[in-house]
Structure 1
Amino acid sequence: MATEAFILNDGEVIEKSEMQEYAIKASTKESQSKQLEDPFREEYEKGNIVKPLYDLGNLAKLLDMNTWHYRACKAKARDTAGDYKLTPLVDDSSEDQKQLLEDVIGDIDPEGNKSITEILEKFQLDYESTGNNALEIIGEGDNLKFKHIPAHTVRRTKDRQVYVQKRGTKKRYFKRFGVNFDLHYKSGEEYPEGQLSDEKDANEILHLMNYSSRSDYYGTPDNLPALMSILGDRESQEYNLEFFENHAVPDYAVTVTGTSLDKNTKKRIKKYFNESLKENRRTTLVITADKDDTDSEIDIGSDQEVEIKFEKLAADVKNSSFRLYRQDNRDEILAAHGVPPYRAAVAISGSLGQNVAEETNEIYKNSTIDPRQTILEQRINMIFQQKLEITDWRFEFVELDTSDQEKEDERHFKGFDKGAITPNELRQHLGYETKDDKEALNSHYVNGKAITGPLAQLSANDPVRKAKESEVVKAVHKMKEKLANVVKKHE
């Protein structure tokens, strides 16, 4: 006779027959999901609000589940909306318009504690994580304000002109930017333009969506094709965590032959796994058992021995389990986002040559960041043109700098040695002011010898020429040494 039992995480010993009985009972129970219901569920049933392809709240939660997904979304948001500049559109651009634009941008947050960069980075982060974003446009003229609205709290109506935000039991309505009617911000009732007061009229909303061919109302995030990698990576982490929480003790099956598994034996097994083993991982479990004289299947007079076996149910977990699996997940997630590894704080040594890395960085800028900046710039400028009547100036994001500064500096020093640039041009590149010594600093040099300018007209052995050339070469070498020391200090 053999008795099979399972040891649970808490050390509880359950015989197989009990587990089967429990499984039958559990299968008859209604499945109880612990997920929060979509707050718009009733609104969908009424038929006016359109349901997204994927729950926006759950898409937003993915940021908390995976490091690489989070870093990629943050990198794209910051690289897109990290900094800005104002560019004139005409030769005689209005300084009054520029001043108005600067004043509005400087005080764009209605609460007065966030910059336009902070607001737009949040706006763009929603775009990367959910495929949608929402920006509330408040007032106009010098009272124009922007406020970020979390995208997962907003839904669209079927007419595409109205947006609804819901948090808890509260609901607010917004108009699509550019519509020509009034909308009550609480009831959602439409009125002819100009009929409602500013206090009752809903604010406008700017909504961008990452286009999906499956929906005319909502976008989808870039990471969606890598969703299984995000979830699989999470499962592997939880598996390892549970393994170590159990002090690296694998699942065991206990087989008892020759007797039944009595209460005292169960109690000792549970105490060993739940207490002794967790306090001292090198303890030994000793179990004694008598033959079960009440069992009719066992011949009391026989020589059958009592035997208790512990068998692992799972294979041994090796060091760094799932490491390669997690690397594959990471690579797929970053590929779906179109983000180079180093932009997501991933250091991969020896896998890419310098030229390949530079090309990857440039591809990221041209194919991922530039299009996002262009779209967002166009929308922001539409708002400024309509609300501020700005016609002479353009709001622009600063382009992502993909250059290798050290390589650029080295290229300029080589340019000086080969006669491609003058000492003053080299100084200007390195951030120094140019000097008025036109005779020496505006000439070109090859291997330390002037080839243009007044010095080149003098004899090669002229002491004035030789002194000036030596002075220029020493100055350039001094700048190079100073720059090398700065780089070394920061390595």
Structure 2
Amino acid sequence: MTDDTDDGNVTLSVDTLDNQSTMAKAEETTQLDERHIATDVGRGIQPPYNPETLAAFQELNETHQACIRKKARYEAGYGFDIVPHPSADEPDTGEGTQHQDVRDFWYGSDSRWQIGPEGTAMSTPEEVLELGRQDYHGIGWASLEILVEGDGTPIGLAHVPSATVRVRKTTVQEREDGDDIIESGHGYVQIRQGRRRYFGEAGDRYGDDPTFVDKETGETASDAGDLPNGPANELIFIPNPSPLSLYYGIPDWVAAMQTMGADQAAKEWNHDIFENLGIPYYAIKVTGGTLTEDSKEELRELMDNLKGSRYRTAILEVEDFEFEEDNPLQDGDPSDVEITLEPIGSREDLDMEFEAFRERAEHEIAKVHEVPPILINVTSTSNRSNSEAQVQEFANDVIAPEQSKFEARLYSIIHQQALGVDDWTIDFELRGGNNPQEEARMAEQRVRAMRLAGVGTVNEAREELGLEPFEDEDLGGMTLQEFEAEFSDDGVGGEDDDVEEMLTRSKAAPPPENKIGERKSLNIDVEKDPIEQTTFNSSNLDEGLYDFGAGELYLSFQRPDGQNSLYVYVDVPPSVWNELVNAGSAGSYHYDNIRLEYPYLEITNNHERLPEGPTPDPGEVPDDIPSDI
């Protein structure tokens, strides 16, 4: 409907026919559920695979178990740091802050971590999370119980064996006001030796419309006081997503089930050979006659008696050979009958076949897990160079994405929903990634967290960043906050500098592995070689000089202890120099595009400024670049 106003403007309003509730419902998925879901009364939805059977495979196949344990260890077993969330500006620290709430949950004196039911030994966050990841990869889902105090404040996690956990089918009822309420079957149920224990779904008790589950009956209520047996703890249920299962995850290794079964059969066959002291299988060959049933039985007993015996020679004699009445050789000569034992294959051939088969099986199982063979002690196809590359690829392409998803899940459920914390998350340690830029970024995050938390010294922070400690003990022993207060206003750092940037004056220096040698002093013929020189407005870079004739880039780095560092990168094209001097941040451009890309020499005995030369024209490649470069 439109209305004309006195000033000539037109206003527009749109009336809808009670579409608010309809539009609100569209915020959730409208896809169809499975038409028939297999459920057992009180036992939840049936998983696509029997979880007890899946768990048993770890007992049968050592390669499979090693892969699962290795992935879980790499994902969560090496610990984590509490770091600012990427969306946080300047998170607060100290008593009564969000950082303190998060730290109390993970490492506080009252936090609780268990790998079993009440009465089992206390554990650590790393052990609990690692066990959850083992279930995730071995069975298809992880189950972590949120432990709470009497007022509902979370104080830790407990590992719940996922093989005992089932998803309950939720049914809802629509109220008169259009909102849905949970009627029954919500959450999860643990089944162990005929007993049942119910759990709520993580996050249900927080928010405007809380839902509580009775821990003994599984009934639901919006008020915990309405439950006769008290509210159940909530469960963080993390499935390994698969399009083949809506309610459960499916482990990645199910495609290798047949390989594991064949490998187990091969081991049993080989075990049988060893029980027989290496005696191979034999065929009994009869020439010139037919054995009676009694003779066959005697031969079977003879062969059985050879098992376990150190003597492997047996003499078979045909004495008083008796022909059966219907034997066509009844009129023949018994001396013409021969009985011989023919071995089926040699011991050496059997060993080679067994070893080759098991090696193929090991590689197939490791491949479906995406675990490098070297990490499960399979070294036949690995050497030092390709092993390092395999581990790095494993860390970056397999482990890091899983860590990121796990971190996001814990941040959403524990930090945001349960603790009400948005500014702090956790960052799992990534072993073997060997990604310099990513490691540098994470190191800076950890130093930032140290500063905000008011812990750590300058030299401890520099060690975290992979730098040598300051020789000045007073400087290196400062707290990060003291360092920031001391150097933010005295010319070493500007007012806009933060402590991480001041600490890392030399962090942007090239890594030692790219160093190809040293020079005692500058070796630039300014009369012969065309050069350009500039001074940077940067907290890291001081001066730069480019030698067009030699293709060498000289960079001087500022350091808080007063002595600049000077390096010369070799084989640097003129275009890189041009982009460096025209970059919005010369320090960032150097860090991202130069320090890891080009080999360098270190100038070890230089105490002078770089030679003066023409200043490059902004935005243009200098005209005096030799044509043959």
Q: Distance in 2 between matches of 1:400 and 1:302?
A: 80
Q: Is residue 275–residue 308 contact of structure 2 (8 Å, CA) maintained in 1?
A: no
Among 328, 344, 350, the residue aligned to 2:376? 344
Q: Distance in 2 between matches of 1:142 and 1:233?
A: 49
Which residue number corresponds to residue 109 of structure 1? 113
Which residue number corresponds to residue 248 of structure 1? 278
Q: Distance in 1 between matches of 2:316 and 2:364?
A: 49
- Over the aligned positions, Cα root-mean-square deviation in angstroms equals 3.7
Q: Distance in 2 between matches of 1:95 and 1:198?
A: 41
The 1:376–1:161 alpha-carbon spacing in structure 2 relative to 1, beyond 3 Å, is farther
Supply the AA of the counterpart residue of 1:398.
E
Which residue number corresponds to residue 358 of structure 2? 326
Which residue number corresponds to residue 188 of structure 2? 163
The 1:174–1:246 alpha-carbon spacing in structure 2 relative to 1, beyond 3 Å, is same
Which residue number corresponds to residue 93 of structure 2? 94
2:451 counterpart of 1:401? no
Question: Cα deviation per residue 1:158-195 (whole Å; 9 max; x = unaligned)?
Answer: 22832111111111111111223221111112223333
Q: Which moved more, 1:229-238 or 1:132-141?
A: 132-141
Question: Cα deviation per residue 1:430-485 (whole Å; 9 max; x = unaligned)?
Answer: xxxxx99745x74558977547434989xxxxxxxxxxxxxxxxxxxxxxxxxxxx
Which residue number corresponds to residue 66 of structure 1? 61
Q: Which moved more, 1:387-396 or 1:189-198?
A: 189-198
Q: Distance in 2 between matches of 1:67 and 1:334?
A: 11
- What SS does the aligned partner of 2:269 have? helix
Q: Distance in 1 between matches of 2:194 and 2:367?
A: 40
Which residue number corresponds to residue 287 of structure 1? 317
- Paired residues for 1:341-380 under 5 Å: 341-349=373-381, 354=385, 357-380=387-410
Report the alpha carbon displacement of residue 77 of structure 1 after superposing the two structures with TM: 0.5
- What SS does the aligned partner of 1:279 have? coil
Which has the larger share of helix?
1
Report the alpha carbon displacement of residue 237 of structure 1 after superposing the two structures with TM: 1.4
2:200 counterpart of 1:175? yes
Q: Distance in 2 between matches of 1:394 and 1:387?
A: 13
Report the alpha carbon displacement of residue 281 of structure 1 after superposing the two structures with TM: 3.2
Which residue number corresponds to residue 150 of structure 1? 161
- Paired residues for 1:63-462 under 5 Å: 63-81=58-76, 82-88=78-84, 89-96=88-95, 97-106=98-107, 107-109=111-113, 113-139=122-148, 144-159=155-170, 161-179=186-204, 180-196=210-226, 200-254=230-284, 258=289, 261=292, 266-267=297-298, 269=299, 272-276=302-306, 278-292=308-322, 295-297=325-327, 302-305=332-335, 307-312=337-342, 314-317=344-347, 318=349, 319-349=351-381, 354=385, 357-382=387-412, 383-403=414-434, 411=513, 413-414=515-516, 438-439=562-563, 442-444=565-567, 450=604, 452-454=606-608
Q: Is residue 259–residue 289 contact of structure 1 (8 Å, CA) maintained in 2?
A: no
Question: Cα deviation per residue 1:90-134 (whole Å; 9 max; x = unaligned)?
Answer: 424232333332232123315562000000000000011111111
Supply the AA of the counterpart residue of 2:607.
G
Unaligned runs of 5+ in 2: 1-37, 115-119, 171-184, 205-209, 437-509, 523-539, 542-558, 569-599, 612-629
Report the alpha carbon displacement of residue 235 of structure 1 after superposing the two structures with TM: 1.4
Q: Is residue 136–residue 146 contact of structure 1 (8 Å, CA) maintained in 2?
A: yes
Q: Normalized against structure 1, the TM-score is what?
A: 0.70
Q: Is residue 146–residue 154 contact of structure 2 (8 Å, CA) maintained in 1?
A: no
The 1:387–1:220 alpha-carbon spacing in structure 2 relative to 1, beyond 3 Å, is same
Report the alpha carbon displacement of residue 84 of structure 1 after superposing the two structures with TM: 0.3
Q: Distance in 1 between matches of 2:275 and 2:311?
A: 13
Q: Is residue 43–residue 191 contact of structure 2 (8 Å, CA) maintained in 1?
A: no
Q: Normalized against structure 2, the TM-score is what?
A: 0.56
The 1:340–1:258 alpha-carbon spacing in structure 2 relative to 1, beyond 3 Å, is closer
Report the alpha carbon displacement of residue 265 of structure 1 after superposing the two structures with TM: 8.0
The 1:442–1:312 alpha-carbon spacing in structure 2 relative to 1, beyond 3 Å, is same
Report the alpha carbon displacement of residue 154 of structure 1 after superposing the two structures with TM: 0.9
How many corresponding residue pairs?
398
- What SS does the aligned partner of 2:167 have? strand
Between the two proteins, what is the percent identity of the paired residues?
24
Report the alpha carbon displacement of residue 334 of structure 1 after superposing the two structures with TM: 1.5
- What SS does the aligned partner of 1:93 have? coil
Q: Distance in 1 between matches of 2:607 and 2:514?
A: 20
Q: Distance in 2 between matches of 1:417 and 1:309?
A: 87
Q: Distance in 1 between matches of 2:197 and 2:520?
A: 67
- What SS does the aligned partner of 2:416 have? helix
The 1:115–1:199 alpha-carbon spacing in structure 2 relative to 1, beyond 3 Å, is farther
Supply the AA of the counterpart residue of 2:100.
Q
Q: Is residue 444–residue 451 contact of structure 1 (8 Å, CA) maintained in 2?
A: no
Q: Which moved more, 1:218-227 or 1:188-197?
A: 188-197
Higher relative contact order (CA 8 A, sep 6+): 1
Q: Is residue 444–residue 453 contact of structure 1 (8 Å, CA) maintained in 2?
A: no
Q: Which moved more, 1:271-280 or 1:110-119?
A: 271-280
- What SS does the aligned partner of 1:134 have? strand
Report the alpha carbon displacement of residue 213 of structure 1 after superposing the two structures with TM: 1.0
Q: Is residue 444–residue 452 contact of structure 1 (8 Å, CA) maintained in 2?
A: no
Among 45, 51, 56, the residue aligned to 2:46? 51
Report the alpha carbon displacement of residue 86 of structure 1 after superposing the two structures with TM: 0.6
Report the alpha carbon displacement of residue 404 of structure 1 after superposing the two structures with TM: 9.7
Q: Is residue 48–residue 158 contact of structure 1 (8 Å, CA) maintained in 2?
A: no
Q: Distance in 2 between matches of 1:90 and 1:137?
A: 29
Q: Distance in 2 between matches of 1:411 and 1:442?
A: 17
Q: Distance in 2 between matches of 1:173 and 1:158?
A: 13
Q: Is residue 418–residue 447 contact of structure 1 (8 Å, CA) maintained in 2?
A: no
Unaligned runs of 5+ in 1: 1-42, 423-434, 458-491
Report the alpha carbon displacement of residue 249 of structure 1 after superposing the two structures with TM: 2.5
Question: Cα deviation per residue 1:231-289 (whole Å; 9 max; x = unaligned)?
Answer: 1211111111111212222333445554754758844x456434456322343323333
